[in-house]
Amino acid sequence: MIRYILWRIAVMIPTLFMISVLVFTIIELPPGDYFESYIEEMRAIGEKADMQQIDELRARYGFNESEPVRYFHWITGFVQGDFGYSFEYRLPVSEVVGDRLWLTILVSVVTIIMTWLIAFPIGIYSATHQYSWGDYGLTFLGLIGIAVPNFILALVLMYFANIWFGTSIGHLMDQQFLGQPMSWAKAKSILEHLWIPVVIIGTAGTAGMVRRVRANLLDELNKQYVMTARAKGLHPFKVLIKYPLRLSLNFFISDIGSVLPTIISGAEITAVVLSLETTGPMLIRALQNQDMYLAGSFLMFLAVLTVIGVLVSDIALAFLDPRIRLQGGRTK
């Protein structure tokens, strides 16, 4: 196991290197750069850009140098903890992210926990009561949850949250707390608004997970070893928990690689519709404006979390399912 983990960590290095090259190349593909876009934007609104300041920023961050040199400066700074400078916000990337990162983590973690707490009991019930009225009803609700787009649900819940509960439309807090330091009143306002994005983002994920739990558990319940355990007179609950449920969770463990990046990125479209102060809209705007250091740092963070999540899921699967062996050798 230790040898396998060390080998996977060693493989991560060239993987992340290739991802960084790809990220830098994609960001550089559109013609021009942030400064040219900024100059055109200022001209469109009838104002004049400060060319002296722009020339200073170009020289400071190497925009007059070749792309390989700029890539080298960016990636070496990233490895050392210097994530660069956001030209749009006129601040270092680490300061720009600020509270947005913690708010994104809060929304994502609460959504994931809600999804698990709801999806697993419903999926287990549907699998153990196959073709019952409860199974049909829950399946119907699950299909609705999958079919309804998140942004449509966001618009509906924004309306009813304002009409029924008096919660302000949009944002993750009341207007007076925007840009203010954290306080008890601000934390209370965040908690009052939190349930709206959690319900919206978690609906489709919960519905999809219910279907997957049901399908995987049904596959295990129909196998010979479960029938043998039942024939021996074991308690139905013990038969369910000991092996079928455990083995049907393989998909859940393998999803860790995709769950970790979503904690940082969040649901971008829903965040835009609700005007949430999370990192999703910031990432989209950074890509649109070619804010290279901000967008590149975000994408590299997602890549690092993805490769770490895949490694964690592979190791967890080996412990969860005795049929999986990391060595890849033959078993007797």
SS3 63: coil
Residue 329 has pLDDT above 60, yes or no: no
- Mean pLDDT across the stretch 270-292? 80
- Mean pLDDT across the stretch 3-26? 88
Tokens of 307: 């490769």
Residue 43 has pLDDT above 60, yes or no: yes
Give residue 211's pLDDT.
87
| More confident site: 239 or 168 | 239
- Read off the pLDDT band of 303 (50, 70, 90): confident
What is the per-residue pLDDT across 189-228, written as a single tens digit (0 to 9) for each?
888 878 888 888 888 788 888 888 888 888 888 888 888 8
Computed over every residue of the chain, the mean pLDDT equals: 81
Task: Report CA-CA distances (Å) from 112 to 162, 203, 204, 258, 321.
Answer: 25, 11, 12, 12, 23
pTM over 0.95: no
Provide the Cα torsion 44, 46, 50, 55; round to 10°.
Answer: 30
- 68 CB neighbour count, 10 Å cutoff: 10
Most confident range, picked from 134-143, 160-169, 266-275? 134-143
Angstrom distance (rounded) from CA 163 to CA 22: 47
Phi-psi group of 48: left, alpha or beta (phi > 0 → left; psi -120 to 50 → alpha; rest → beta): beta
Give residue 330's pLDDT.
52
Helical (H) or strand (E) element with 74: helix 67-79
- 43 CB neighbour count, 10 Å cutoff: 11
- Read off the pLDDT band of 167 (50, 70, 90): low
Residue 168 has pLDDT above 70, yes or no: no
Give residue 41's pLDDT.
73
- Read off the pLDDT band of 172 (50, 70, 90): confident
SS3 149: coil
Whether the CB-CB separation of 248 and 315 falls below 8 Å is answered with no
- Mean pLDDT across the stretch 72-85? 84
Residue 170 has pLDDT above 60, yes or no: yes
Q: How far is CA 200 from the centre of its chain?
A: 15
Looking at 29-38, 64-73, 162-171, which range is the least confident one?
Answer: 162-171
Determine the Cα angle at 289 with ends 259 and 278, to 5°.
35
Number of H helices, E strands in the chain: 16, 2
Give residue 68's pLDDT.
86
Give residue 276's pLDDT.
77
DSSP code per residue over 93-128: HHHHHHHHHHHHHHHHHHHHHHHHHHHHHHHHHHHH
Whether the CB-CB separation of 118 and 201 falls below 8 Å is answered with no
What is the per-residue pLDDT across 86-132, written as a single tens digit (0 to 9) for each?
877 888 888 888 777 888 888 888 888 888 889 889 989 998 888 89
- Read off the pLDDT band of 19 (50, 70, 90): very high
Helical (H) or strand (E) element with 257: helix 256-265
- Mean pLDDT across the stretch 54-75? 81
Most confident range, picked from 7-21, 64-78, 94-108, 187-201? 7-21
Give residue 58's pLDDT.
77
| More confident site: 147 or 57 | 147
Q: How far is CA 103 from the centre of its chain?
A: 13
Buried b (16+ CB within 10 A) or exposed e, 238-263: ebbeebbbebbbbebbeebbebbbbb
Give residue 18's pLDDT.
93
Domains of the chain: 94-288 (1.10.3720.10)
What is the per-residue pLDDT across 244-273, written as a single tens digit (0 to 9) for each?
887 777 777 877 777 777 777 667 777 777
Residue 51 has pLDDT above 70, yes or no: yes
- State the amino acid at position 161 in one-letter form: A
| More confident site: 221 or 63 | 221
